[in-house]
Structure 1
Amino acid sequence: MEHSPELTSSEVAALWGAYMQNSMSYYVVQHFSNVNEDNDLSEISQKALNNCDFVVKEVKNLFEKDNHAVPIGFTQEDINLEAQRVYSDLFALRYIKYMAAAGTAAAAALLEVLARNDVREFFSKTSQIFMELYNDSCDLLLKKGAFIRSPTIPPMEKAEYIHDTTFLSGLIGGHRPLTVIEMAHISKNTETNSIGRTFIAGFSQTANDPKVRKYMERGTEIAAKHETVFRDILIKEGVPLPSSWDSTISKSIEAPFSDKLMMFQIVSLNELSVSGYGASIGSSLRKDLSGHYTRLVAEILQYGNDGVKLMIENRWLEQPPQNVDREALRNRSN
């Protein structure tokens, strides 16, 4: 007999998340492509659109094959193609690079929990095409002299073991220099907050719902504060600061995206921030750094939770697939 296994919960979760993220990113990039004035960016924008379209269509096919409901996700109703530009072409390129990196990492990480051959093949292909997009984006940023590099350090003269527990100090008094691992996390978290701050600044002036605008204004303040915390750490260490992201925002108040899409984008960035801070806590041995991350992640969690409540209030938050409510079935006759 031919064995045809059903999708597991992990596979459904992976596919559902990929559909949501890529159906959203498709329309973000579509707006960027529509207002683009940089010929160098045209090919990469089209490749990003093709990648997102590939993911959405493949997930749809897999779900329909197994009789799973296809997510609502995002549609043409969530974009205004007549809207003027809000962000620069350079920011659009950096967004594509960031999106491609996130897509590559997510697809690769998910392979561990995937059993079915067709699902593994799909995510392997997804990882491959987004890695290619990431490399193309990096090459173009380097060509333009706009790639944001991490700080540099002098070459290490010799390898050695840690001698005592003072290596963990940092809360009170003197502390040892940052390791390259700690610097890498600080740089990555600075980048995440920079792109979030720029995005939210544009959203705060174009959102239609006053509550959404207020939420975005609060997010701008949080992202700026977190970015300052990370930059201050580097300054105190005497580490060269990485260049700032291009945060040019136009004066347009015409929304290119629906409030629903903007809120989902920010909730997604919140999730990436929490994930990044969690990884940083695990990799940072200096106690003062762990203290910073613990405090900041709590603030992001609260901000993200308030965003989820706002989306539910407006019926913008799509429910992920869930297990059968056995209790409701048992009580159906009561």
Structure 2
Amino acid sequence: MEHSPKLVSSEVAALWSAYMQNSMSYCIVQHFANVNEDHDSTDIIQTALTNCSYVVNEVKLIFENENHAIPIGFTQEDVNLKAGRLYSDLFALRYIKHMAAAGTAAAAALLEVLARNDARDFFSKTSQMFMKLYNDACDLLLKKGAFVRSPTIAPMEKAEYLQSETFLSGLIGKHRPLTAIELAHISKNTETNSIGRTFVSGFSQAAKSPEVRKYMERGTEIAAKHETVFRQVLIEDGVPMPSTWDSTISQSIDAPFSDKLMMFQTNSLTAISIAGYGAAIGATLRKDLDGHYTRLVAEIMQYANDGIKLMIENQWMEQPPQNIDREALRNRRV
């Protein structure tokens, strides 16, 4: 007999999250495509739209076959294609690179919790699609001289074991030089904050709700502060500063996206930052860096929590699939 198992919780979670993220990204890239003037980016933008559309349609098909409710996600009601440019074409390319990297990593990470063949095939293909998109975006950014590079370090002369616990350093005082791994995480987290700061800065001037605008202003300040902390670490260590490209934000106050979408995108960026800081803590051996990350992650977690509360208050937070509430069922019989 052929075994046809139902979707398990991890598969439902993976598919639901993919639908939410890609229906949102599709709306954002639609706006980028509508205002794009950089002919070099046209094919990459169209590929990004194709990838997002593929994910949304495939998840919908799997859920329909399982009689599972289709997520609300984001639709044409969440994007205003009549709105003028809010971000530069260069930022659109940086966003697609960032989105493709996140999509590749998420799809690959989810594979280990998937059992069904169709789910594994879907996420395997998704990972390959977004990996190609990422590489294409990287190639174009390199061609334009706009790829944000990590700092360079001198070649290691020889491999050796650590001889002293002083390698861990303390919270204060003189610290040993940063390792390549620590530099990689600092660079990645700086870039994530740079993209987030540009996004929320534009959102702060275009959002319709005063509460959302205020929330985005706060996010701009937090991202700028975190970037400053990371850059100061590099300065104190005498590390050459990595390249940086702040993308232009127009003077438009005509929102290309709904407040709901802007809040969800900001929440997604904070989640990526939290994950990035967590990975850095696990890979960092200098105690002062651990102190920085622990303090910064607490601040951004509070910011994310306040954002979720704001979304719930406005009924913008879609409920993820959850287990049956047995107690509620019992109470209905009373």
TM-score interval for Structure 1 and Structure 2 normalised by the shorter chain: over 0.9
Confirm or deny: 8 A CA contact 1:193 1:227 kept in the other structure.
Answer: yes
The alpha carbon displacement at 1:77 in A equals 0.2
The alpha carbon displacement at 1:170 in A equals 3.4
Indicate the residue corresponding to 1:284 in structure 2: 284
Indicate the residue corresponding to 1:2 in structure 2: 2
Q: Structure 2 counterpart of 1:200, which letter? A: V
Please list every run of at least 4 consecutive aligned residues from structure 1 whose deviation after the TM superposition is greater than 2 angstroms: none
Indicate the residue corresponding to 2:57 in structure 1: 57
Q: Structure 1 counterpart of 2:258, which letter? A: S
CA deviation map 1:198-235 (0-9, x unaligned): 00000000000000000000000000000000011011
Indicate the residue corresponding to 1:188 in structure 2: 188
Indicate the residue corresponding to 1:145 in structure 2: 145
Indicate the residue corresponding to 2:295 in structure 1: 295
Indicate the residue corresponding to 2:116 in structure 1: 116
Indicate the residue corresponding to 2:127 in structure 1: 127
CA deviation map 1:73-130 (0-9, x unaligned): 0000000001010100000000000000000000000000000000000000000000
Indicate the residue corresponding to 1:34 in structure 2: 34
Provide the C-alpha distance between the structure 1 equivalents of 2:13 and 2:63, rounded to a whole number of angstroms. 11
Provide the C-alpha distance between the structure 1 equivalents of 2:247 and 2:126, rounded to a whole number of angstroms. 30
The alpha carbon displacement at 1:173 in A equals 1.6
Provide the C-alpha distance between the structure 2 equivalents of 1:219 and 1:174, rounded to a whole number of angstroms. 32
Between the two proteins, the alignment pairs up a number of residues equal to 334
Q: Structure 2 counterpart of 1:37, which letter? A: E
Confirm or deny: 8 A CA contact 1:31 1:256 kept in the other structure.
Answer: yes
Indicate the residue corresponding to 1:217 in structure 2: 217
Indicate the residue corresponding to 1:162 in structure 2: 162
Provide the C-alpha distance between the structure 2 equivalents of 1:175 and 1:235, rounded to a whole number of angstroms. 13
Indicate the residue corresponding to 2:91 in structure 1: 91
Provide the C-alpha distance between the structure 1 equivalents of 2:26 and 2:227, rounded to a whole number of angstroms. 28
Report % sequence identity.
78
The alpha carbon displacement at 1:242 in A equals 1.3
Provide the C-alpha distance between the structure 2 equivalents of 1:40 and 1:172, rounded to a whole number of angstroms. 48
Indicate the residue corresponding to 2:43 in structure 1: 43
Asked if 1:321 corresponds to 2:321, the answer is yes
Indicate the residue corresponding to 1:250 in structure 2: 250
Confirm or deny: 8 A CA contact 1:88 1:249 kept in the other structure.
Answer: yes
Confirm or deny: 8 A CA contact 2:83 2:256 kept in the other structure.
Answer: yes
Indicate the residue corresponding to 1:173 in structure 2: 173
Q: Structure 1: which 5+ residue stretches go unaligned?
A: none
Confirm or deny: 8 A CA contact 1:97 1:137 kept in the other structure.
Answer: yes
Provide the C-alpha distance between the structure 2 equivalents of 1:89 and 1:120, rounded to a whole number of angstroms. 34
The alpha carbon displacement at 1:172 in A equals 2.2
Confirm or deny: 8 A CA contact 2:87 2:248 kept in the other structure.
Answer: yes
Confirm or deny: 8 A CA contact 2:206 2:253 kept in the other structure.
Answer: yes
Provide the C-alpha distance between the structure 1 equivalents of 2:200 and 2:244, rounded to a whole number of angstroms. 16
CA deviation map 1:291-332 (0-9, x unaligned): 000000000000000000000000000000000000111111
Confirm or deny: 8 A CA contact 2:35 2:84 kept in the other structure.
Answer: yes
Confirm or deny: 8 A CA contact 1:195 1:245 kept in the other structure.
Answer: no
Indicate the residue corresponding to 1:204 in structure 2: 204
Confirm or deny: 8 A CA contact 1:206 1:253 kept in the other structure.
Answer: yes
Provide the C-alpha distance between the structure 2 equivalents of 1:58 and 1:290, rounded to a whole number of angstroms. 41
Confirm or deny: 8 A CA contact 2:234 2:241 kept in the other structure.
Answer: yes
Indicate the residue corresponding to 1:265 in structure 2: 265
Provide the C-alpha distance between the structure 1 equivalents of 2:255 and 2:75, rounded to a whole number of angstroms. 15
Q: What is the TM-score normalised by the length of structure 2?
A: 0.99
Provide the C-alpha distance between the structure 2 equivalents of 1:175 and 1:110, rounded to a whole number of angstroms. 38
Asked if 1:231 corresponds to 2:231, the answer is yes
Q: Structure 2: which 5+ residue stretches go unaligned?
A: none
Confirm or deny: 8 A CA contact 2:78 2:260 kept in the other structure.
Answer: yes
Confirm or deny: 8 A CA contact 1:281 1:290 kept in the other structure.
Answer: yes
Confirm or deny: 8 A CA contact 2:196 2:223 kept in the other structure.
Answer: yes
Provide the C-alpha distance between the structure 2 equivalents of 1:146 and 1:193, rounded to a whole number of angstroms. 17
- Residue 332 of structure 2 aligns to a residue whose secondary structure is coil
Q: What is the TM-score normalised by the length of structure 1?
A: 0.99
Confirm or deny: 8 A CA contact 2:90 2:247 kept in the other structure.
Answer: no
Provide the C-alpha distance between the structure 1 equivalents of 2:144 and 2:247, rounded to a whole number of angstroms. 17
117-126 or 243-252, which moves further after superposition? 243-252
